[in-house]
């Protein structure tokens, strides 16, 4: 196991800065997801950890040792890409045995490892098949097996599930997590899919435009997003945000949300933080699943614009100048055009400064 430390890491391609000063510690045996939209610098970061790209500035340390100038083959990293690198003329067994053989392991050790990893990844029935004939799903499983079999101290995976089908992706999420727990590797996993990051990672590093936005456990980034970008990116659908202004009312500090009405009073700790922040223009946030929705009541007023019935839950789109979504299990037959009343759960309300986009945090 190995700790990875990124210190003031920068990457420029000519005039373009793909990564602006990244500081991150990935702990021994930790599963860290690098999460963000396309082009945010995830793969660039990963390629520098692997040794495929040189940093333009800053350092990468493995267990305190500077990796500057250490070639990829000497870093002890396993790497799985989106496009599996499999020798198609070889059988599954030969592909799995390739890495251990190159490292000069004994025949008995190679056989033991091939058996273990094949059992683990359910590749045993096709061990003697030619890889050229395998489905995309099985090829990606094999690519993971081929890297995992040498038990690298650091396992880097760059969007390994983006080419496989949805059902298989769900299975692999669980298997990858088990694999990491079994081998206790330090794992860095690049993805643009927040669900993959939320379900597998011990911690998530959320990135946007070459800047690290927040690092935290899945629940930390979900419950307490550091800024508007993270609030919208995490969760499906993401957090609802309504523009408003802080307003003192008879019942305490609240947010005037224009056509929606005035919010319920903010909880005391959040109100105190909002007063102390000096902010006036804010974004009022709440998760789609943390509000109640009814056809009558004293909540925020809006009109239904769309209703998505997806089984146990219904996603109701409502609008009052701005559009938000509400996930409800209390579907009373909402229809487009209905006027509804929304009551966000007080403890679920989040505030963001409109100008800086940073969270205003209570208690
Ligand atoms: N070799 C290169 N030369 C010039 N620009 C590059 C190079 N590699 C990456 N970039 C640019 O750097 C930015 C970050 O790319 P990167 O591949 O790290 O993003 P990403 O978050 O992994 O997204 P994706 O999932 O689309 O690969 C992008 O704007 C990309 O076009």
* CA 210 – ligand 1 centroid, Å: 9
208 and 281 assigned to the same domain? no
Shared-domain flag, residues 64 and 111: yes
Residue 153 · residue 79 · CB < 8 Å:
no
Q: Is 4 helix (H, G, I), strand (E, B) or coil?
A: strand
What is the pLDDT at residue 283?
Answer: 97
Tokens of 58: 């800053």
Q: Is the CB of 192 under 6 A from ligand 1?
A: yes
- Can you tell me the ipTM of this complex? 0.95
- Give how many domains the chain has, as a whole number: 2
CA–CA separation, 303 and 251 (whole Å): 26
Do both 30 and 164 map to the same domain? yes
Same domain assignment for residues 44 and 176: yes
Q: How far, in Å, CA of 150 to CA of 188, rounded?
A: 17
Domain boundary (231, 266, 287) is at 231
76 CA distance to ligand 1 centroid (A)? 24
Nearest residue (by CA) to ligand 1, atom 17, is 43
pLDDT digits (tens, 9 = 90+) for 16-53: 999 999 999 999 999 999 999 999 999 999 999 999 99
Residue whose pair of structure tokens reads 């190159």 in the numeric block: 102
Q: Compute the distance from residue 32 Cα to the ligand 1 centre, in Å.
A: 20
Largest CA distance in the chain: 79
Q: Is 252 in the pocket of ligand 1 (CB under 6 A)?
A: no
Domain that holds residue 301: 237-360
Rounded to 5 degrees, what are φ and ψ at 312?
-65, -25
Looking at residue 84, what is its pLDDT? Answer: 62
Residue 311 has pLDDT above 70, yes or no: yes
Region 82-108: mean pLDDT is 89
What per-residue confidence (pLDDT) applies to 83? 66
Residues 6+ away with beta carbon under 8 Å from 337: 303, 304
Task: Indicate if 125 and 191 belong to the same structural domain.
Answer: yes
Q: Dump pLDDT digits (tens) for 235-245.
A: 988 999 999 99
221/258 same-domain check: no
Q: What is the pLDDT of residues 164-190, one digit of tens each?
A: 888 888 888 988 888 888 878 899 999
The answer, yes or no, to whether residue 327 has pLDDT greater than 90, is no
Final residue in a domain of this structure, among 191, 212, 231: 231
Element (H, E) at 221: helix 218-223
pLDDT for 34? 98
Same domain, 244 and 194: no
Per the prediction, the chain carries an average pLDDT of: 92
315 Cα–ligand 1 center, Å: 34
| Ligand 1 centroid from CA 39, angstroms | 5
Nearest residue (CA) to ligand 1, atom 26: 38
Q: Is the CB of 43 under 6 A from ligand 1?
A: yes
pLDDT score of 308 more than 90: yes
- Same domain for 319 and 339: yes
Of 231, 255, 270, the last residue of a domain is 231
**Ligand 1 touching residue 41 (CB < 6 A):** yes
Counting from 1 in the atom list of ligand 1, the atom nearest the Cα of 210 is 14
Residue 279 — very low, low, confident or very high, per pLDDT cuts 50/70/90? confident
Exposed/middle/buried for 177, CB within 10 Å: 0-12, 13-18, 19+? middle
Averaged over 297-304, what is the pLDDT?
A: 92
Q: What is the pLDDT of residue 234?
A: 96
Cα(8)–Cα(24) distance, rounded to whole angstroms?
A: 9
Both 89 and 195 in a single domain?
Answer: yes
Percent of the chain with pLDDT over 90: 73
Q: Is the pLDDT of residue 266 over 90?
A: yes
One domain for residues 93 and 121: yes
pLDDT in tens, 188-215: 999 999 999 999 999 999 999 999 999 9
- The Cα 83–Cα 158 span in angstroms is 9
Tens of pLDDT, residues 124-143: 999 999 998 888 888 888 99
Residues 297 and 258: their CA atoms lie apart, in Å, by 18
The CATH number assigned to the domain holding 332 equals: 2.40.50.140
Binding site membership of 145 for ligand 1 (Cβ less than 6 Å)? no
Q: Tens digit of pLDDT for each residue in 340-351?
A: 999 999 899 999
CA nearest ligand 1 atom 20, residue: 39
Say yes or no: 83 and 14 in one domain. Answer: yes
Q: Is 48 in the same domain as 172? A: yes
37 lines ligand 1 (CB under 6 A): no
């Amino acid at each position: 196991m190995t700790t990875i430390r990124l210190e003031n890491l920068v990457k420029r391609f000519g005039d373009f800065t793909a990564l602006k000063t990244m500081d991150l510690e990935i702990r021994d045996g930790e599963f860290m997801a690098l999460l963000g939209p396309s082009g945010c610098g995830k793969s660039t970061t990963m390629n520098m950890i692997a040794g495929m790209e040189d940093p333009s500035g800053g350092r990468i340390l493995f267990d305190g040792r500077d990796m500057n100038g250490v070639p990829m083959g000497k870093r002890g990293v396993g790497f799985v890409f989106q496009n599996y690198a499999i020798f198609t003329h070889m059988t599954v067994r030969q592909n799995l045995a390739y890495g251990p053989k190159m490292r000069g392991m004994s025949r008995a050790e190679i056989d033991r490892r091939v058996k273990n990893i094949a059992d683990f990844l359910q590749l045993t029935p096709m061990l003697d098949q030619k890889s050229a004939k395998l489905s995309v799903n099985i090829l990606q499983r094999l690519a993971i097996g081929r890297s995992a079999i040498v038990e690298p101290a650091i396992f880097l995976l760059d969007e390994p599930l983006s080419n496989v089908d949805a059902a298989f992706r769900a299975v692999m999420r669980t298997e990858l997590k088990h694999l990491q727990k079994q081998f206790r590797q330090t794992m860095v996993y690049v993805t643009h899919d927040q669900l993959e990051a939320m379900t597998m990672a011990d911690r998530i590093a959320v990135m946007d435009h070459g800047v690290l936005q927040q690092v935290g456990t899945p629940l930390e980034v979900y419950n307490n997003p550091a800024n508007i970008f993270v609030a919208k990116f995490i969760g499906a659908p993401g957090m609802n945000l309504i523009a408003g202004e802080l307003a003192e009312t008879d019942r305490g500090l609240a947010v005037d949300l224009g056509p929606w009405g005035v919010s319920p009073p903010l909880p005391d700790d959040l109100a105190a933080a909002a007063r102390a922040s000096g902010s006036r223009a804010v974004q009022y946030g709440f998760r789609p699943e943390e509000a109640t929705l009814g056809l009558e009541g004293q909540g925020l007023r809006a009109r239904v614009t769309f209703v998505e019935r997806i089984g146990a839950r219904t996603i109701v789109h409502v609008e009052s100048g701005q559009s938000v979504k509400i996930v409800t299990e209390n579907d009373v037959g909402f229809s487009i055009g209905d006027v509804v009343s929304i009551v966000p759960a007080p403890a679920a309300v989040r505030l963001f400064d409109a100008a800086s986009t940073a969270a205003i945090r209570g208690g």
